[in-house]
C-alpha cells in the first residue's frame, strides 16, 4: 500500500514556469551538480504534512540530503497547493520539485509510489547507520538526475542571531540533456545556461535578518543526514 494512494491532487493549476530568479567532497557553491539517488522515502510531520526525503550523491562524492513538503498539514486538508495573493491556486514549491523529479527519471505521476521497507539511516546516539522502517520510494534509488543548487544564508531557526548556510535545490534537470521537465515537454533547451549565467559559483542568496552583522559561516547546513534542514522557516506552517 503506497503512502500517497489516498491523497487527492489538484490538476487544474497552470504549469509552474521555469524561473531563473535571482579533500572531503562537499557541496560548497551555487551551480549545476550531477547526482545519483542513494535513498528516497516519504513521511509525515507532526502536523500531518506529507514529505519526501532524498539522499543524493554527486559525481565528486559530495552528499546532499533534501526534504520537500508536498502537502499542507492536516488542518489545511493536506493539499498540494496554496492560494496566492490573487486567490489563484499554485502548487506548493516542494510538490512541484518532487513531481518534476519523478517525471525526469521516467514516471511523471501525481505522487511517487512508496513501499514500506527498511532503509539505513544515520543514528545520532550510536553514531552509525541503522535500519529504519520507512515508506521507501524504491523506483528512484540508483537513478541519475542533475540539479541547480543555490547557496543561501539565513538566520538559524533555533537561534536567529546566528547564521546558517544552506544549499537548496532550485530546479531538477535531466541528467543527460540538462533540460527541465517543462523543457522536455516542449522540446526546448537553454534554461540551465541562462540560470547559471545569472547565478555564477560566487552567487549567494542572503536572506539574513537578525544575524545580518554576524560572521557569515557560523553554521553550515549541507543537507547531510546529521543536520535537519527540513523545518526551518517553512512558509506553509508545517
* Least confident interval from 40-44, 125-129, 201-205, 223-227: 223-227
Q: pTM higher than 0.75 for the full model?
A: yes
**Tens-place pLDDT, residues 167-218:** 999 999 999 999 999 999 999 999 999 999 999 999 999 999 999 887 665 5
Across the chain, mean pLDDT equals: 87
What mean pLDDT is predicted for residues 79-91? 95
Backbone φ and ψ for 104, nearest 5 degrees, come out as: -65, -25
Higher per-residue pLDDT: 9 or 144: 144
b/e burial code for range 165-187 (CB count within 10 A of at least 16 → b)? bbbbbbbbbbbeebbbbbbbeee
Residue 78 has pLDDT above 50, yes or no: yes
Which pLDDT score, from 0 to 100, does residue 236 have? 33
The predicted pLDDT at position 21 comes to: 55
> Is residue 113 a contact partner of residue 140, using CB atoms and an 8 Å limit?
no
Q: What is the pLDDT of residues 96-123, one digit of tens each?
A: 999 999 999 999 999 999 999 999 999 9
pLDDT at res. 227:
29
Amino acid at each position: 500500500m503506497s503512502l500517497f494512494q489516498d491523497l487527492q491532487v489538484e490538476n487544474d493549476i497552470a504549469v509552474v514556469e521555469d524561473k531563473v530568479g535571482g579533500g572531503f567532497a562537499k557541496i560548497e557553491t551555487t551551480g549545476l551538480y550531477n547526482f545519483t539517488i542513494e535513498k528516497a522515502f516519504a513521511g509525515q510531520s507532526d502536523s500531518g504534512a506529507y514529505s519526501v526525503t532524498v539522499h543524493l550523491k554527486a559525481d565528486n562524492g559530495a552528499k546532499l540530503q533534501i526534504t520537500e513538503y508536498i502537502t499542507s498539514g492536516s488542518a489545511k486538508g493536506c493539499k498540494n497547493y496554496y492560494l496566492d495573493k490573487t486567490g489563484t491556486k499554485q502548487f506548493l514549491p516542494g510538490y512541484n520539485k518532487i513531481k518534476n523529479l519523478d517525471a525526469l527519471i521516467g514516471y511523471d505521476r501525481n505522487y511517487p509510489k512508496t513501499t514500506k521497507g527498511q532503509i539505513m539511516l544515520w543514528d545520532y546516539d550510536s553514531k552509525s547507520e541503522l535500519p529504519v522502517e520507512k515508506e521507501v520510494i524504491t523506483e528512484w534509488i540508483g537513478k541519475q538526475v542533475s540539479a541547480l543548487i543555490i547557496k543561501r544564508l539565513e538566520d538559524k531557526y533555533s537561534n536567529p542571531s546566528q547564521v546558517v548556510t544552506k544549499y537548496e535545490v532550485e530546479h531538477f534537470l535531466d541528467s543527460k540533456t540538462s533540460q527541465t521537465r517543462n523543457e522536455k515537454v516542449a522540446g526546448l533547451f537553454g534554461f540551465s545556461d541562462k540560470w547559471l549565467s545569472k547565478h555564477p559559483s560566487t552567487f549567494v542568496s542572503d536572506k539574513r535578518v537578525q544575524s545580518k552583522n554576524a560572521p557569515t559561516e557560523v553554521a553550515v547546513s549541507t543537507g547531510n543526514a546529521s543536520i535537519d534542514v527540513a523545518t526551518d522557516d517553512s512558509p506553509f506552517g508545517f
